[in-house]
Amino acid sequence: MKDFFTGLQFLTRIRVVEQTDWSPDSFGRSVKYFTLIGAIIGVILAGLNYILSQFLPLHVLAAVIILAEIVLTGGLHCDGFMDTADGVFSGRSRERMLEIMKDSRVGANGVVAFGLLLLLKYSLIVDMTPTMLTTALIIMPVAGRVAMVISIASFPYARPDGMGKAFAQYADRTTLMLALAIALAVVVPFGFQASISASGAVLAGVLSARYFANVLGGLTGDTYGAITELTELVALLVFVI
């Protein structure tokens, strides 16, 4: 359970126990729980949607849901998405891209990309019925974390060190199988549409991981966040289609 709480407190702002061990090994072992943590995020968002949909119009509810996810995750994946956009769209050499991504300052590419991400998420959410949205909000973060785990396990790490390297070292076949099993257990009961949405989104996430790996020579912690955000976006898109 210790590894689960490490992952929960890293991927979200939920604090259940007083965490004192933030070692690379502790982070690495938590990867096997990422999909389960995605399901927890999804249940919270779906519950919030169910409650607030009784009082708020859909266009306001969509903004609140997007904000709630950012607050719940501490904007962790959004930060990685912006850093990745800054680096990949800079048009520089591979080494310079990695340097740009490591810079804590956000550039124009990151701001524009994040603005478009929010706009697309908002547009897709307001096009859903309340029932469809409840299901989508559960599937979306699960698909995002599955794509992250697959990417961690399937592609090399681009830096000699960093927090993401610990994830890569512990993402073995057992971890991958557990992540997929949890995802299937969550997604399949919601039916065909949910299964297609999750499958299409995860495929898109893995393809984006392959692209980042080709451009950067591997993946980084920032690209893990970008992969998660892109997968979530595609999950919403497939629901609307």
Q: Where are the domains of the chain?
A: 2-240
> What average pLDDT does range 161-170 have in this prediction?
77
Per-residue model confidence (pLDDT) at position 52: 94
Beta bridge partners of residue 219, listed in sequence order: 157
73-131 residue pLDDT tens = 999 999 999 999 999 998 888 899 999 998 888 889 999 999 999 999 999 999 998 88
Confidence band of 15 (pLDDT split at 50, 70, 90): confident
Residue 165 near residue 157 (C-beta atoms within 8 A): yes
CA angle 31, 84, 208 (to 5 degrees): 70
Q: Flag whether pLDDT at 20 surpasses 60.
A: no
Please tell me the least confidently modeled range out of 23-27, 103-107, 129-133, 235-239: 23-27
Specify burial of residue 173 (Cβ count, 10 A radius: 0-12, 13-18, 19+): exposed
Confidence band of 21 (pLDDT split at 50, 70, 90): low
168-208 residue pLDDT tens = 887 888 889 999 999 999 999 999 999 999 999 999 999 99
How does DSSP assign 145-188, residue by residue?
HHHHHHHHHHS-BSSSSSHHHHHHHH--HHHHHHHHHHHHHHHG
Q: Report H helices in 53-172.
A: 58-73, 76-88, 94-102, 108-125, 130-154, 163-170
Residue 227 near residue 208 (C-beta atoms within 8 A): yes
